[in-house]
Structure 1
Amino acid sequence: MIFVTVGTHEQPFNRLVKAVDELKRDGVITEEVIMQTGFSTYEPKYCQWSKLFPYQQMIKNVEEAHIVITHGGPASFIMPLHIGKTPIVVPRQHQFEEHVNDHQVEFARNVAERMGTIIPVEDISKLGEIITNYGEIVAGMGHGMTSNNKKFCDDLENIVDGIIK
């Protein structure tokens, strides 16, 4: 199963929701997809979805997922990391009116560069290829997240502090 979450930000993230729905429609994604669509206005036709899930259901979805795809909000991709997953992170972009600025893009780039624990996707046209090659990509990352949570959290806190200052 693939679990997708766009968080609870009030601007729609139709670009990601629609892209995943189309990948499912086109057979690029063959497994079940469950999406949390938030305030997106696009309603998936080929995937199971709900605007919001209770937090315990979110945890269950992440635990059961083969792949987790999130927006670039730290809380949305830190949870999968704590559970031992390597999330695909598609940051919301200001140019598409998905957020007020590009802080998610900058944050995802920083985490990917400094930590190497997420798979950032800024160009949505590459999402299908990344999903198809997910296993190889994760195997090549060698980040050992499941045995290094404290160091990751400390390093991530330093990154966040550095961005905020």
Structure 2
Amino acid sequence: MSDERLPLHIDPLRLARAGVQLRGRMPLAEMGRFAPLLATPDGEVEVELDFGIDAERRTFMKMRLRAQVNLVCQRCLGQVQHGIEVERLLGVVTSEAQAERLPAIYEPLFFAEEPLFLREVVEDELILSLPIVPRHKEGECAPAATGAGTDNKAGSARENPFAVLAGLKH
């Protein structure tokens, strides 16, 4: 498949046996856990999935995600654009024992008999890719508005507390 509508549910074992590649987009607004973390849930995430079986007969899913999202800057509370580019190699496992035996290059993707809800897997990776404290780069924040509890008055010049010492110098 190429750039088609992505399925809601997948069977990674079946897709890996067939060597399937899936390409498509998912609207950010439809992601119930990820969308509330954004300033605006506009846009889409580009999803590329490659399924296969490695030389050791392990089932894997290679996932690439790309998106531009708007987050709330924690310095100025304005919007800050954040680019997401995620590439993960997931080893499909059905038990903790299998997960422990996975080589370090794989992250475990637990799969039971029922189909896997693809949006949840994509959403998990997007959430993990967000910065802990989103903010603009130094000096890019909008000027902060005068907040409650400050006694700065508009137009008044702030006195230098060391001005008195200037007179004592001579």
User: After TM superposition, is the score higher than 0.5?
Assistant: no
Which range, TM-score by smaller chain?
under 0.3
Question: Which of 1 and 2 has greater Rg?
Answer: 2
TM-score w.r.t. length of structure 2: 0.24
- Per the normalisation by structure 1, the TM-score is 0.25
Would you tell me which structure has more strand in proportion to its own residues?
Answer: 2
- Give the number of the structure whose residues are more often helix, by fraction: 1
